[in-house]
């Protein structure tokens, strides 16, 4: 097994981040510092240390969290803000799959399965993500068309998307938005581009997985849900 795959399976970091850790000389195999991330190891016989800690592969866990507003999607935060891991009490070291920004709530997946994390965050898989958005003003048909056809955000056009008005009020509208890209603050930037800034944003689905738990709570995914994510 390649060393970086083992590190991601053990929950040390994602496979990409594990490669950086190896290059930094922080991994020892049988007492020898390893710098080449393609190094093959045998987890049953080799002793692998990260810094001074022995690394073993734990059982995988797969979590769905309903992230509240006010939590950052990271393992630790330099500004000492609340992180999504503050909401989860598990012995295993887990990582978020993708991100929701501080002021966005809703469905977030977390796991210690580095391979699945890499797969679900890779752009080529085009996994649909559905959001409920409260937007300022009244959406016009030409604005909806522009949104769906793609907008230029930071010199790059967004992929085709979907937006459907659920309810229109005098000063705001509630809309369902579907995208499959994962660019930083993408929906907020797209809505600003059509002059309808986001008031509130909540992710309610990733692929076929739908949010079905209360805000601030989490649950383990079923085997059927895990199999689905691995089949994407």
What number of other Cβ atoms are within 10 A of residue 20's Cβ?
13
| 194-224 CB burial, b ≥16 within 10 A, e <16 | bebebeebbbbbbbebebeeeeeebeebeee
46 is an active site residue: no
Q: At what angle do helices 114-121 and 15-23 cross, to 10 degrees?
A: 110
pLDDT 10s digits, 19-45: 899 999 999 999 999 998 789 998 878
pTM of this structure: 0.76
| Nearest alpha carbon to residue 133 among 101, 105, 157, 99 | 105
| Nearest alpha carbon to residue 66 among 31, 105, 23 | 105
| CB < 8 Å & 24+ apart, contacts of 158-163 | 158/183, 158/186, 158/190, 161/190, 163/139
pLDDT 10s digits, 169-205: 889 999 999 999 888 899 999 999 999 999 999 999 9
Q: Classify strands 95-97 and 162-168 as parallel, antiparallel or unpaired.
A: unpaired
Q: What beta strand segments (E) does the chain contain?
A: 27-29, 32-34, 48-50, 53-54, 62-67, 95-97, 104-111, 129-136, 152-153, 156-157, 162-168, 172-179, 198-206, 209-210, 218-220
3-state class (DSSP) for residue 2:
strand
pLDDT 10s digits, 91-148: 788 999 989 999 999 999 999 888 888 888 877 777 899 999 999 999 999 999 999 9
Token look-up 């955000």 returns 153
Domains of the chain: 3-54 (3.10.290.10), 62-123+209-231 (3.30.70.580), 128-206 (3.30.70.1560)
Task: Tell me which of 46, 77, 101, 115 is the catalytic residue.
Answer: 101
Residue range 56-79: mean pLDDT, rounded: 88
Count of positions (residues) in the chain: 232
Residue range 220-226: mean pLDDT, rounded: 91
């Amino acid at each position: 097994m390649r060393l970086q795959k083992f590190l991601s399976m053990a929950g040390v970091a994602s496979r990409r981040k594990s490669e950086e850790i190896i290059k930094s000389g922080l991994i020892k195999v049988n007492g020898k510092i390893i710098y080449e991330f393609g190094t093959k190891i045998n987890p049953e016989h080799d002793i692998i240390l990260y810094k001074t800690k022995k690394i073993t592969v734990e059982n995988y866990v797969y979590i769905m969290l309903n992230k509240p507003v006010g939590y950052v999607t990271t393992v630790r935060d330099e500004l000492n803000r609340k992180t999504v891991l503050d909401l989860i009490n598990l012995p295993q070291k887990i990582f978020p799959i993708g991100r929701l920004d501080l002021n966005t709530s809703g469905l977030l997946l977390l796991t210690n399965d580095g391979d699945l994390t890499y797969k679900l965050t890779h752009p080529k898989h085009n996994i649909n993500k559905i959001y409920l958005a409260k937007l300022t003003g009244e959406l016009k048909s030409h604005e909806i068309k522009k949104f769906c056809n793609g907008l230029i955000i930071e010199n790059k056009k967004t992929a085709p998307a979907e937006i459907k008005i659920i309810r229109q009020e005098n000063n705001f509208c509630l809309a369902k938005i579907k995208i499959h890209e994962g660019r930083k603050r993408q929906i907020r930037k797209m809505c600003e581009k059509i002059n309808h800034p986001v008031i509130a944003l909540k992710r309610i689905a990733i692929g076929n997985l739908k949010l079905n738990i209360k805000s601030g709570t989490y649950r383990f995914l079923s085997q059927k849900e895990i199999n689905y994510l691995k089949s994407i």
